[in-house]
Amino acid sequence: MIMNELSIFRAKSVLLKFLGTLIAISPIGTMAQERWFQIEVSIFSNETDEDKSEEFWQPDQLELAFPEKMRRLDRLTDILMIDDLHTINNIEALKADPMIVPEKPQLMEREESILAMRPQTRKTNSGFRFFDFSRDDFLQLPPRLSEFQQTNQTLERSPDHRLLFHGLWRQVVTNSSQAEPVYVQGGLAYGVQHELQGSLTIHFNENQDRVIADTNLWLAEFSIVENSEENWELPIPPEEIADSLNYGTTNPDLNYHPIRIYHMQQDRDMRSNEFHYLDHPALGVVILVKPYENPPLTPNNSDF
Residue 292 has pLDDT above 60, yes or no: yes
Percent of the chain with pLDDT over 70: 67
Return the half-sphere exposure (C-beta side, CA atoms, 13 A cut-off) of residue 196: 25
Beta bridge partners of 260: 221
Query: How do the domains of the chain map onto residue ranges?
Result: 34-75+130-292
Per-residue pLDDT, averaged over 271-288, amounts to: 94
Reported confidence tier of residue 56, pLDDT bands at 50, 70, 90 = confident
CB 45 within 8 A of CB 162: yes
Compute the distance between CA of residue 231 and CA of residue 133 in angstroms, rounded to an integer.
44
Residue 248 has pLDDT above 80, yes or no: no
Compute the distance between CA of residue 285 and CA of residue 142 in angstroms, rounded to an integer.
20
CB 202 within 8 A of CB 212: yes
- Top-confidence residue, 18 or 60: 60
Per-residue pLDDT, averaged over 69-91, amounts to: 68
Give the pLDDT score at 66: 95
Measured in degrees and rounded to the nearest 5, phi and psi for residue 213 equal -100, 120
Give the pLDDT score at 269: 94
Query: DSSP readout, 23-60?
Result: HHHSHHHHHHH--EEEEEEEEEEE--HHHHTTS---GG
Reported confidence tier of residue 200, pLDDT bands at 50, 70, 90 = very high
Q: What is the largest CA-CA distance in the chain?
A: 104
- Among 162, 161, 181, residue whose Cα is nearest residue 171: 181
Buried b or exposed e, range 5-43, using 16+ CB within 10 angstroms: eeeeeeeeeeeeeeeeeeeeeeeeeeeeeeeebbbbbbb
Amino acid at position 21, single letter: T
- Among 238, 251, 243, residue whose Cα is nearest residue 187: 243
Reported confidence tier of residue 65, pLDDT bands at 50, 70, 90 = very high
Reported confidence tier of residue 61, pLDDT bands at 50, 70, 90 = confident
Compute the distance between CA of residue 45 and CA of residue 58 in angstroms, rounded to an integer.
19
- Top-confidence residue, 127 or 293: 293
Measured in degrees and rounded to the nearest 5, phi and psi for residue 220 equal -115, 145
Ranking 87-96, 197-206, 219-228, 285-294 by mean pLDDT, the lowest is 87-96
Measured in degrees and rounded to the nearest 5, phi and psi for residue 36 equal -90, 145
- Top-confidence residue, 133 or 88: 133
Ranking 24-38, 86-100, 192-206 by mean pLDDT, the lowest is 86-100
Amino acid at position 19, single letter: L
- Among 162, 215, 154, residue whose Cα is nearest residue 48: 162
pLDDT tens digits for 138-195? 999 999 999 999 999 999 999 999 999 999 999 999 999 999 999 999 999 998 899 9
Give the pLDDT score at 128: 64
Ranking 33-37, 136-140, 202-206, 236-240 by mean pLDDT, the lowest is 236-240
Per-residue pLDDT, averaged over 208-237, amounts to: 92
Compute the distance between CA of residue 94 and CA of residue 114 in angstroms, rounded to an integer.
15
